[in-house]
Chain A
């Protein structure tokens, strides 16, 4: 009797699917972060951050994607993306990244499940 096991092919297919969904979710988070920032931004300096978002593949193994605002590849002075997110002793916080990540948590789970169900 012979059993032919194509486990590697299944795993590779799953990896490709998960990678694509990861990128899609990262783009969703970025879009929501921009939308939230656009709602909260009051000054031209704050709205200027809208053009400084990008999504990048993590360099770490199985690290997924990183959503940057004023990351090393795309930023203009003044540097203040993190100050806006976290707040400072002078300025009220206007979080936009964390709400966007949280908002997409449930839909990300659904997307991963749906993609794996189709395998």
Chain B
């Protein structure tokens, strides 16, 4: 799991100064946001992991979720963040130590808003299916 998280972060970090990295000022956090993180930011975490074993391969099928949040009266920023997240991760190839990366496919996207806040929180939850196969010596 750590290797996958590291692989996701490495892909993010190699784009320093542009795209999604620039849009959230580098604030991609594993599992939870840091205390005092200003908006916008993104949190990523594992929804589940199971071993899918057969007789020849050893595969891991993960579901990873990204939550992106913006605090803005306009939905434009959250929409732009969603687009830049998709540009960065849709069908991307990750380098995951000890694993061969097979698939990184966007599954579902849900709005994740809180209009009780002032200005309102606007965001999205984006779910990806990730398939990895263990590297054999």
Same assembly: yes
Q: A90 — which chain B residues lie within 8 A by C-beta?
A: 114
Q: Are A99 and B31 in contact (CB under 8 A)?
A: no
> Does A64 interact with chain B (Cβ within 8 Å)?
no
A interface residues, how many (CB within 8 angstroms):
13
Interface residues of B in 66-92 (CB under 8 A from A): 67, 69
Q: B125 — which chain A residues lie within 8 A by C-beta?
A: 86-87
Most buried by B among A93, A95, A98, A99: A93
Q: Are B114 and A89 in contact (CB under 8 A)?
A: yes
Q: Are A93 and B65 in contact (CB under 8 A)?
A: yes
> Does B43 interact with chain A (Cβ within 8 Å)?
yes
List the one stretch of B14-22, B44-52, B98-106 in contact with chain A: B44-52
Q: Are B48 and A99 in contact (CB under 8 A)?
A: yes
> Does B110 interact with chain A (Cβ within 8 Å)?
yes
Write the residues of chain A forming the contact surface with B, with a CB cutoff of 8 angstroms: 86-90, 92-93, 95, 98-99, 102-103, 106
Write the residues of chain B forming the contact surface with A, with a CB cutoff of 8 angstroms: 31-33, 43, 45, 47-48, 50, 52, 61, 63, 65, 67, 69, 110, 112, 114, 121, 123, 125
Q: A88-B112, A93-B65, A102-B61 are in contact. List 20 more A-B contacts (CB 8 A).
A: A86-B112, A87-B43, A87-B65, A87-B67, A88-B114, A89-B33, A89-B67, A89-B114, A90-B114, A92-B31, A93-B47, A95-B48, A95-B65, A98-B63, A99-B47, A102-B48, A102-B50, A102-B63, A103-B48, A103-B50
